Structure 1
Amino acid sequence: MQFFRAIIFKVLSVLLFVVMAGIIKSVSDHVPPGQSVFFRSLFAIPVIVVWLAMRKELRIGFKTQNPMNHVWRGVIGTSAMAMTFGALGLLPLPEMTAIGYAMPIFVVVFAAMFLNEPVRLFRLMTVAVGLVGVMIIMAPRLSVDVIDVSETLGAVLALGSAVTAALAQVFIRKLTKTETTSSIVFWFSVTATGLSLLTIYWGWVVPTPKEAALLVLAGIIGGVGQILLTSSYRLADASFVAPFEYSSMLFSIAIGFAFFDEVPTSTTLIGASVVIFAGILIIWRERQLGLERTKTRKAMSPQG
């Protein structure tokens, strides 16, 4: 029953994040990415605070041992969010989602670079396969025959968001050694709100009442999605629920078609399939290694 709840929470969080992305995309013609980041972050805070209060973790959420680490994590995460929102205004939603699947691939690379995690032949092969999938997706946007340069910019921003999101994941791994999940979630929303204000210089706009309502809704949905995601990882191992992240392709295709008349190209679907295959292999391998480490610890324990 617990595993079933974890799956439900994960899939619901994925759905909410895709809906949030669709909302941001719907206002992207008028509202700049930095302003969207501000609304997304600010209006997620009340949701997170209420959640922490309900769990009696409010004090834990405020408490931090390394405030500057939260700031740096905020800089990286906010950059990833801004590039994601920028790309949403330039690319079809399914294509943006597909390129985002490259994030776990880059996590493997950065974990080896910055956390000294071993990278054996199997991981190298999955990274190579994943990068091939990414290039398949991006190839039409990087071709010399591209008519709309904005699509090329969108593809570059989408890939940049995957890279910086992977860096953020590596930074979170380091943060979890001294910080609680509650504080990481709370302080990211706070730092992202503050950092997004710096983009006022590049021109914010006065949103229409409809746009303002949608932006507030995006923030609330993002906050609820974050809570559901965190809850799913509380109930089950990350390696168990992580594959359900790929349900976002189905949701993005449905929302893209229903609201933006977008139909994914065969190239996008083929490339996404390759990246998803590589991602699942990485998740499976991580699970196997986790089981091996658990067996080793039990064997070495006095009770083992």
Structure 2
Amino acid sequence: MQITATQRGILALVVGIAVFSLQDVILKRLSGDYPLYQAMIIRSLTAVPLLLIILRLFDGRLTTIATPNWALMLARGILNFVAYTAYYLGLAALPMADTVALFFTAPLFITIAAALVFRDRIGATNILALLAGFVGMLMIFNPSASVFDPAALLPVLAALGYALTQLATRVLGRTETAAAMTFWGNLTFLAGALALAAVFGSGAYDGATHPSLAFLTRGWQPMPARDLGLFMACGVIASIGLSLLTYAYRVAPSASVAPFEYSFIIWGVLWGWVFWAQLPAALAWGGIALLIGAGLLVIRAEAQTTKAAPEGAA
């Protein structure tokens, strides 16, 4: 039986998401011993040669790195850096499943931001999805609980940063290749991580007790070969994962593959249970279900809008 392009795209995305989830496991496990910027620097340096190879394979030439839109590329990279930093600082303190679920408020933010920036129309389905997503987010936050961890806001900040990154991608995608944007994004990651290292690397701000704050402000730590290898593995994981996701969206319609990004939540629940014996509370399960449903509604509405658009406009 011959596999269609859409099936290949779905398979590539599902495998790419599974690969990416391993990076979350590594960084959460090591977040109590090292600062985040240390992981970022090692990850980015490892990824540079791999991304150059990927750029050569996808685009056939390396000249696409040079672009007159370098300022917009850097702005997109900074937004992505903020999103990445907020996500992993939240992951250091929160259960994996809750962190991943809160991050998947991103489709809702993308809908709102696209309406504000590009004047995209928000239909009744999108409004329903926004309301459901907001309720789901509150269920995961559980503001009625006796203790609220402010770290729960970090994955939501990450989702907002990711949404703005996607809007920048929508603009840059008209002239820039996906591989080139990934390469510039990695360089911005490296620059941002070096800036954090310059501020916190000396250890002058050591002593924070909250896991998220400690993951940010801890001084540079000596590493055994095993931990260095794990951080380098994050660079390999990121390169492979990005390649698979890029391939998925190149060969298959986005409306067909995008819903499978929610498989990330499955991995978040699984790894949280396997490595930390953490499972979402009953109320959080309901919130996760609402967020998934809201995100799928947004994706479905976008697919219907794209299908209904005139061929020239599409």
TM-score (norm 1): 0.91
Given candidates 133, 138, 141, the residue that maps to 1:138 is: 141
Report the residue type matching 2:260 in the other structure.
F
Pairing 1:223–2:239 present? yes
Provide closer, same or farther for how the CA distance between residues 115 and 42 of structure 1 changes in structure 2, counting only shifts above 3 A: farther
The 5 Å alignment of 1:59-138 reads: 59-138=62-141
Report the residue type matching 1:206 in the other structure.
Q
Report the residue type matching 1:297 in the other structure.
E
Q: Is the 8 A contact 2:54 2:179 kept in 1?
A: no
**What are the ranges of 5 or more consecutive residues in structure 1 without an aligned counterpart?**
none
Q: Deviations over 1:155-208 (max 9, x none)?
A: 011111111111111111111122121211111111111121100112342242
Question: Residue 257 of structure 1 aligns with which residue?
Answer: 273
CA separation in 1, counterparts of 2:87 and 2:61? 30
Provide closer, same or farther for how the CA distance between residues 153 and 58 of structure 1 changes in structure 2, counting only shifts above 3 A: farther
- SS state of the match for residue 93, structure 2? coil
Pairing 1:202–2:203 present? no
TM-score (norm 2): 0.88
Report the residue type matching 2:233 in the other structure.
L
- Comparing 208-217 with 79-88, which one deviates more in the overlay? 208-217
Report the residue type matching 1:205 in the other structure.
W
The 5 Å alignment of 1:1-304 reads: 1=3, 2-139=5-142, 142-143=143-144, 145-146=146-147, 152-200=149-197, 201-203=199-201, 204-209=219-224, 210-293=226-309, 296-297=310-311
Q: Deviations over 1:224-249 (max 9, x none)?
A: 10000000001101111001111112
- Coordinate RMSD, CA, aligned: 1.7
Question: Residue 207 of structure 2 aligns with which residue?
Answer: none
Identity %: 27
The Cα shift of 1:58 comes to 3.5
Q: Deviations over 1:111-150 (max 9, x none)?
A: 11112212223222211111111111112xx44611xx6x
The Cα shift of 1:60 comes to 4.5
Q: Is the 8 A contact 2:76 2:168 kept in 1?
A: yes
Report the count of equivalent residues.
291
CA separation in 1, counterparts of 2:17 and 2:145? 35
